[in-house]
Amino acid sequence: MTPDQFQNALALFDAANAQDPHSEIHNGQPVPKELLYAQRMTERLLAFAPQASQHLQLAARAQHIERWTSQRSSYPEGRTGYKQWRAELMLYHAKRAGELMAQAGCPVDDITRVQYLIQKRAMSRDAETQCLEDVICLVFIEHYLAAFAQGYDEVKLIDIIQKTWGKMSEAGHAAAMQLPLSAEMGRVIGVALQG
C-alpha cells in the first residue's frame, strides 16, 4: 500500500465517521461521536505502539466505523442479544473498511489484513490483533469508563473492569496504570484488580 493509498483510506474513514448524527463535546465543541472515537484510537495507538504498521493504524481508525447505523436496541435484551449485536458490528466495520480501502485504491492483500484485525482474529496468536485490543481497552478506560460506570452498581462495574483487564496484555496493563483517571475510577479499578 502506498503512502497516498494509506492517507486516502484514513481520509475516507474520517469522512464516513464525520456523518455520525450523534456528537460529543470535546474542547468545548461538538464533534461527531465516532469521528472523535477514531481520533482517540489513533492517538492512543501511536502512544502505545509508535511503530504500528499501516494495517494496524487503519484497523484502529475503522474500529467503530459508522457504528451508529446499528443500534443495540435493535437486538434482544440480555447477553445473547448483546453478543449477536457485537458480532454483526465487527463484520459490518470490516466490510465498510474494506469498501472504503478499495475506493482508496488499496491492494486486496492490505484490505484483507485490515479486515482480519478489525474482526480481532487470533488474538492470542497475532501480536497486532492483541495490540489493537489493548488500544481499544485503553481508550475505553481513559475516555468512556467514567460515563459508562454511571449505569451500573459497583459489583457489576468491577466485573466489567476485570473482564476488560483480562483481554489485555502485560504491556496494556502497564499502560493502563499510567492513564490520567479520576480518583473514583482509580479506586474502582484498584478494587477490581484485587478481586
pLDDT in tens, 73-105: 778 788 888 888 888 889 999 999 999 999 999
Q: What is the CA radius of gyration of the chain?
A: 17
d(CA 140, CA 69): 20
Grid coordinates of 144: 468512556
Question: What ranges in the chain are assigned the alpha helix state H?
Answer: 3-17, 33-48, 54-61, 78-103, 108-118, 127-139, 145-149, 154-166, 170-176, 183-194
pTM score > 0.95 for this model? no
Give the amino acid at 148.
Answer: F
User: Integer distance in angstroms from the first to the last C-alpha of the chain?
Assistant: 46
Q: What tens digit of pLDDT does each residue of 140-167 get?
A: 999 998 888 887 888 888 888 899 999 9
